[in-house]
Amino acid sequence: MINICKVCKSVTTQWVIGRKNTLYHHCSNCEFISKDPSHYITPEEELSRYSTHNNSLEDTSYVAYFKHFIESAVLPFVSEGKFGLDFGSGPSPVLAQLLMRDYGYAMDIYDLFYAPSKVFLGQRYDLVTCTEVVEHIPNPLETFETFKDLLLVDGTLAVMTQFHTNQIEDFKKWHYIRDQSHISFFTRKTMETIAARIGLKVVYSNERKYTTFQQR
pLDDT digits (tens, 9 = 90+) for 139-173: 999 999 999 999 999 999 999 999 999 999 999 99
Specify if 32 maps to a domain: no
Specify if 36 maps to a domain: no
Q: Is the pLDDT of residue 82 over 90?
A: yes
The three-state (H, E, C) secondary structure of 48-113, written as one string:
HHHCCCCCCCCCHHHHHHHHHHHHHHHHHHCCCCCEEEEECCCCCCHHHHHHHHHHCCEEEEEECC
Specify if 4 maps to a domain: no
Say if residue 66 is exposed, middle or buried (CB neighbours under 10 Å; 0-12, 13-18, 19+).
buried
Specify if 25 maps to a domain: no
Specify if 197 maps to a domain: yes
pLDDT digits (tens, 9 = 90+) for 33-71: 999 999 999 999 998 887 766 678 888 999 999 999 999
